[in-house]
Structure 1
Amino acid sequence: MSPLSRLRHVLPTSCSTLSSLHRTPCYAITRQASTKVAATFSDQSKPTNSIYVSLSNDPYFNLSFEDWLFRHAPHTRPLLLLYRDTPCVIIGRNQNPWTEVNFPALQATGIPFIRRRSGGGTDLGNTNFSIHVPRTTFDRTMTAQIVLRAVRALGIPSADVNTRNDITVAGEKVSGSAYKIANNRAYHHGTMLISTRLDTLGALLRPDKVCEGIQTKGVASVRSPVCNLAKVNAETTHDAFVQAVVDEFRREYGMDEDVQYVDDGAKTQLDYVRKGMEELPSWDWAYGQTPEFTHDLAHSFSWGAVSATISSKHGRIISCAFTPARGGDADLSRELSALSERLVGAKYGFLQKELETDKQEDVRAREVASWLKEKLNL
C-alpha cells in the first residue's frame, strides 16, 4: 500500500492569530508508511466505534454505510464518518433532478447523479464528512465549528462559516452542508472542496435559465461562488483534512478513540448496506422520489404556436394539456389529444417510446412530438 499522508503538530505560535476557546493547532504534512485494515461486520453487528474512515471511493457504498451508522449506532454518543467519492453529482432528498442536473453533459461523462437521503442542495465535492449526534444535543453551528477549526488548522485562517453553516474562504464556498433528523438521532454532513475539477463538474449543473417554466415543490439549490482549499493552501490534501477533522472531533467530545477503517467489502457483510446500494441508483429512488412539479412550455411552429402544461408526480406524468394558438383545427386537436393520452403515466424525461410517431399522423403533431423529445429527454 502506498505511503499515506500523516499530520504532526507544530508550535502553536504559528497559529497565534487564531485565538479562541479552542486553541487551534496547525499541521505540517509528513509522509510515513501506514497500513489501514478495514473492519469486518455481520448482519448482527452494531456500530461500536465513534470514528470511521472509509477506504472505499464508491458513493453508493459510502452513502449506504452512512445510513447504516445513522440507523444502528447508539443514539447517546457522537459519531464521525469521513470518506472520499469518485466524481459524482449528489442532489438533496427533496430536489428535482431536472432543475439541478445537466443530463446531456452528465451522460457524456458517465458520471452518476445520486439522490441522497438528507435534504439540502446539490453537491459536487468528493471529500465528505458526516457528524452524528443525539437529537437532543444537535446544534448545526457547533458541528460546523468542528469542521471550521479543522480547516483553519490546515493553514487557512481566513476560513469562516456563513449564515447557512457552509464553510467559506474569502466569501467563496468550500463546503456545502445538509442535515437529517430521525427518531433520537441527527447528523450534519457535507462536502469539502479540496482539489475538485470545478470547471468540469460545474458544467454538470443545470443553468437556472434552462429551468424556466418549471414550478416545483422541491428544494432549489442556492448557487454560490466556490473554490478549492488547495487554491488557498496548495499543500492541502484529503488525508490532511481527514486527520484534522478527526483531531477536532476528538477534542470537541473529549475522546481519544482510534479510527476504524471500512471498505466496500462491508456490502457483502451487511444486508442493510447492500440493499441501500441497490436502492440509490434505482429509478424509483433517483427519479421516483422527485417532488410534484409542473412544466409549462411553448413553441412557435411555421404553422402556428402551441403551449403545453405537463404535471408530474413521483417522476411520472399525471396530466398533459396542449393548447394550440387560435384553437387550431379538429385534426390537430384530435392528434394532440392522442399524444397527451400517451404521455400520461409515462416517466418524465424518459419519453422516447411515447413520443415516437408515424407518417400517418398529422405532420404538425409529429413536429410537436419532436419538439417535446428535444425538451424533455434531457
Structure 2
Amino acid sequence: MLALRSARTSQRAVPWGPSIYVSESHNPWFNLAYEDWLFRKTEPDQRILYLYRNSPSVIIGRNQNPWKEIDLHRLRELGIPFVRRKSGGGTVYHDLGNTNYCVFVPREEFDRRSNAELVTAGLNELDVPAFVNERHDIVVDGFKMSFRYLPDVLDFHVSGSAFKLVNKRAYHHGTMLIDAQLGTLRGVLGSKKEAMVTKGVASVPSPVRNLREWSTRVNHERFVEVVARQFAEKYALSGEIKRIDEGVLEQNEYVREVVDELKTLSVNSKHGLITSASLSDPPRPLDWWRTASELCRLLEGDRYETLERTREALLRLKGEDRERMETFVEWLRREM
C-alpha cells in the first residue's frame, strides 16, 4: 500500500503552508470555488496540487454556450446541475467515478505536457499504460477500430484538461475517468440542436474509457496517493496532505462569494440583444427548474432592456406554469 504522511502528524515545516490539498466534499460549486481561491489567493511562487470529486454534474467552460454543449432536457430529467467554471476548456461530466486534479505553479514554470506526464507516471505505477498525446491529453493506446476514414488505431481518452494563466500564476486542471457512469456522460453531453450556430467555443468530442478497464488496482484513493507522491517528488516537497471540507466556508469569505457567483443566472448580451442565458443551480422542486430552463430559452434573442418577447410569451401561459414564470421574470427584471 502506498502511503503519504498526514498533515496532522508531520513535524516538517512547509513554506507557505500545505502544498497538497484533497477535498472531502462532493459539492461542485464548493470544489470549483476552492480551486479558484487556491489559484488567486495563494502565493504566486507556491506549487500546489488539489484533488477532488464532484457529485453528478456537468461542468461547462467559461466561453461555452450550454444550449450547444448540453442536452438540457435530459439533464433536467436526471436532476443533474451544470456549473460554469471560471476557466476555459471543454464541457465535461463529473461523478464520483471521476477524479479531478489541479496543478498550480508560477507562470514561468507552466508546461502542460510535464503536468500531464506527472499524472501518467502515477498511472503507470497502477498498471495503466497511459501516455500523453500531441494535444497534451492523457490517453491509453491499444484499441483497434474499423470505422471508415479513421486510422486503424485510435487513442481512447481517459482524461481531458484545461489551463488558465493570470499575471504570475498558472494552473492546469484535468479530469480522470476511473469508474465514471459513461452511459450518463454520453446521454447529457451534446445538444440535439445540431443546426445551432453560436459564438461560444465548442467542445472537441473524443471517445472515452474508464481506467478500470485496464487495471482493477485503480480507484480514487490510489490515484490520489500516486499523483500526490509524483507531485511531491517532482517539486521536492514533503508530501503532506491537507484534507478540506465545506467547513472552510465559515472562515473563507472569498470561497463563499465564488460559490454564490457560480450559482447565479448568467445572461450574456450584445448590442442590446440577449445572446444566451443559463441557470446552473437547479431550483427545487423539478417544476421550478423546468420553468427556469424555459425562461433561459425565451430570453435568447430578446431585448435586454425590455424583455418584450419573454413577456409576450408569459401571457400565453396558464395556471401554475404562468405563476412560476411570473415569479422568475419579476425577479430577473429587478436584478437587471
Alignment-derived partner of residue 166 in structure 1: 137
Alignment-derived partner of residue 304 in structure 2: 345
Q: Summarize deviations over 1:219-269 as a string: whole Å, max 9, x none.
A: 110000001001111231000101110011011111223111111110111
- Normalized against structure 2, the TM-score is what? 0.74
CA distance in 2, matches of 1:226, 1:220: 18
Q: 1:1-378 residue pairs with structure 2 within 5 A?
A: 7=2, 48-125=17-94, 126-157=98-129, 159-170=130-141, 171-207=155-191, 210-212=193-195, 214-283=196-265, 287-288=266-267, 312-313=274-275, 315=277, 343-345=302-304, 354-356=312-314
CA distance in 2, matches of 1:74, 1:358: 55
Instruction: Tell me if the contact between 2:100 and 2:174 (Cα under 8 Å) persists in the aligned partners.
Output: yes
- Structure 1 residue 352: Cα displacement: 6.8
Instruction: Tell me if the contact between 2:65 and 2:201 (Cα under 8 Å) persists in the aligned partners.
Output: yes
CA distance in 1, matches of 2:228, 2:49: 8
Letter matched to residue 162 of structure 1: N
Instruction: Tell me if the contact between 1:95 and 1:291 (Cα under 8 Å) persists in the aligned partners.
Output: no
Q: Any unmatched runs of 5+ in structure 1?
A: 1-5, 10-33, 38-45, 294-310, 317-338, 360-378
CA distance in 1, matches of 2:215, 2:168: 39
Instruction: Tell me if the contact between 1:48 and 1:73 (Cα under 8 Å) persists in the aligned partners.
Output: no
Q: 1:256 to 1:36 in 2, by over 3 A?
A: closer
- Structure 1 residue 160: Cα displacement: 1.4
Q: 1:35 to 1:346 in 2, by over 3 A?
A: farther
Q: Summarize deviations over 1:47-99 as a string: whole Å, max 9, x none.
A: 62111111111111111111111111111131100111111100111111110
Q: Summarize deviations over 1:116-157 as a string: whole Å, max 9, x none.
A: 111010111331000000001111111111111111111112
CA distance in 2, matches of 1:221, 1:104: 19
CA distance in 1, matches of 2:312, 2:232: 56
Higher normalized contact order (CA 8 Å, seq sep 6+, divided by chain length): 2
Q: Any unmatched runs of 5+ in structure 2?
A: 9-14, 142-154, 279-297, 318-336
Alignment-derived partner of residue 294 in structure 2: none
| Number of aligned residue pairs | 274
Q: 1:8 to 1:52 in 2, by over 3 A?
A: closer
- Structure 1 residue 346: Cα displacement: 8.3
Q: 1:313 to 1:240 in 2, by over 3 A?
A: same
Letter matched to residue 130 of structure 1: C
Letter matched to residue 92 of structure 2: D
Instruction: Tell me if the contact between 2:177 and 2:211 (Cα under 8 Å) persists in the aligned partners.
Output: yes
Q: 1:257 to 1:103 in 2, by over 3 A?
A: same
CA RMSD of aligned residues (A): 3.1
